[in-house]
């Protein structure tokens, strides 16, 4: 289940790819009034922040080498013990509270809040004389199945139904898969891949469709994607250039399950920053009516149905390095 944060309803996963190393420290804040006011949390200076994620009754976030959990809506955070010397690529927590850590050696799993860990190992494959990592860059768990996108190459979505003993390739994309999200209720998979646009998986990854109307011809693998917790037909994605903004890059919305996309006008142009900002970060409100979009230019609110900004100016005038949601509260990581 995981998810881009929260008791949630959906999970947003993004390959940590390049640039993977986060620079500088962030402070974590939360808002209970859709961003009108903000409160500080116990995490005032957190280095190497990666992403918010979510469990069935708690909020989580992870850094390069650590994992934190909040049980009170994001105000107080406690550290969870993880195996030493791990460099985390991604984290997911399933509906039972089992924690999955994706890293260079494989997936570490804990069913007891980090007291004990079991390793699902991965070995490198040989391609043309080169050693290519098969370790997961993204991990997501739904209905007992583990889904991963490998860190080396990032072209194939794999699935295991037996706790990692065996793996099946359920989809091979035409290009790099830079982001993947799974709707916690329905299990619908949404991913962004270069040369493919948005790819949608249903029935546990048995069937796949492609939707790129409105984003055709754009290399979207380095972007972000989110599914509304209220309606699987409503999605948002962000596509960015590696080094500089271009007119076609920005935040897009879909109201037909990812088949077609319309750009949200009025947002500032943003490239993939080298300071860990990674372009745009996306998070839906709990009722699905508002999309929060954050970047180095601040945090903005978008009316989902109309696809318009609620305000021309950002509601938070600070660089955004991550967004999450826990219940009705919005979480933000910012320098």
Distances in Å between the Cα of 30 and the Cα atoms of 37, 40, 125, 332 are 9, 7, 43, 6
- Would 250 be classed as within a structural domain? yes
- Would 236 be classed as within a structural domain? yes
Q: Which two tokens stand for residue 60?
A: 């989580």
Give the pLDDT confidence score for residue 278 in this predicted structure. Answer: 62
- Would 256 be classed as within a structural domain? yes
The number of folded domains in the chain is: 1
Is 60 a residue whose pLDDT tops 90?
Answer: yes
- Would 223 be classed as within a structural domain? yes
- Would 16 be classed as within a structural domain? yes
Residues 6+ apart with CB under 8 A from 165: none
Strand order across the beta sheet in which 224-227 lies: 224-227, 235-239, 250-254, 262-263
* Mean pLDDT computed over 8-29: 53
Instruction: Tell me the per-residue pLDDT of 114-171, one tens digit each, with 9 for 90 and over.
Output: 999 999 988 655 444 444 456 778 888 888 899 988 766 578 899 999 998 888 889 8
Is 23 a residue whose pLDDT tops 70?
Answer: no
Of the given ranges (105-109, 177-181, 227-231, 302-306), which has the lowest mean pLDDT?
177-181
- Would 313 be classed as within a structural domain? yes
Long-range contacts of 156-162 (CB under 8 A, 24+ apart): 157/189, 157/191, 157/201, 157/205, 159/204, 159/205
Is 18 a residue whose pLDDT tops 50?
Answer: no
Q: Tell me, what CATH number does 315's domain have?
A: 2.130.10.10
The residue among 21 and 88 whose pLDDT is bigger is 88
Range of the domain at 98: 10-334
Q: CA 232 to CA 182: how far, in whole Å? A: 10
Instruction: Tell me the per-residue pLDDT of 255-313, one tens digit each, with 9 for 90 and over.
Output: 999 999 999 999 887 765 544 456 789 999 989 999 999 988 999 999 988 888 988 89
Instruction: Tell me the per-residue pLDDT of 195-235, one tens digit each, with 9 for 90 and over.
Output: 778 899 999 889 999 888 888 766 665 678 999 999 999 99
Closest CA to 78 of 65, 55, 96, 60: 60
Closest CA to 179 of 90, 293, 275: 90
Q: Is 254 helix (H, G, I), strand (E, B) or coil?
A: strand
- Would 4 be classed as within a structural domain? no
Instruction: Tell me the per-residue pLDDT of 94-103, one tens digit each, with 9 for 90 and over.
Output: 989 999 999 9
pTM of the model: 0.86
- Would 241 be classed as within a structural domain? yes
Residues 6+ apart with CB under 8 A from 317: 298
> If pLDDT is split at 50, 70 and 90, which confidence band does 243 have?
low
């Amino acid at each position: 289940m995981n998810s881009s944060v929260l008791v949630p309803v959906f999970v947003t996963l993004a390959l940590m790819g390049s640039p993977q190393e986060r620079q500088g420290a962030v402070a974590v804040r939360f808002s209970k009034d859709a961003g009108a006011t903000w409160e500080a949390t116990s995490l005032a200076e957190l280095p190497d922040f990666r992403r918010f994620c979510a469990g069935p009754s708690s909020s989580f976030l992870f850094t390069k080498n650590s994992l934190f959990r909040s049980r009170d809506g994001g105000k107080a955070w406690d550290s969870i013990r993880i195996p030493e010397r791990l460099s985390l690529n991604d984290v997911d927590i399933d509906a039972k509270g089992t924690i999955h850590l994706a890293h260079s050696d494989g997936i570490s799993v804990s069913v007891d809040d980090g007291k004990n860990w079991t390793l699902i190992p991965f070995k490198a494959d040989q391609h043309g004389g080169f050693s290519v990592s098969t370790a997961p860059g993204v991990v997501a768990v739904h209905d007992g199945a583990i889904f991963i996108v490998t860190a080396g190459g990032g072209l194939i979505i794999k699935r295991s139904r037996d706790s990692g003993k065996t793996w099946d390739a359920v989809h091979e994309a035409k290009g790099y898969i830079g982001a993947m999200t799974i709707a916690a209720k329905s299990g619908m998979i949404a991913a962004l891949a270069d040369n493919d646009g948005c790819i949608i998986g249903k029935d546990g990854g048995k069937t796949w469709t492609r939707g790129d109307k409105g984003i055709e011809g754009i290399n979207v693998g380095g972007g972000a994607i989110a599914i509304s917790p209220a309606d699987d037909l409503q999605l948002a994605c962000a596509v960015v250039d590696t080094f500089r903004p271009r007119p076609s890059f920005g935040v897009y919305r879909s109201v037909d399950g990812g088949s077609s996309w319309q750009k949200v006008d009025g947002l500032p142009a943003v490239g993939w920053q080298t300071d860990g900002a990674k372009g745009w970060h996306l998070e839906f409100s709990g009722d699905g009516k508002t999309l929060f979009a954050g970047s180095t230019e601040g945090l903005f609110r978008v009316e989902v149905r109309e696809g318009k900004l609620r305000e021309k100016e950002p509601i938070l005038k600070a660089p955004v390095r991550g967004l999450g949601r826990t219940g009705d509260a919005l979480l933000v990581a910012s320098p």
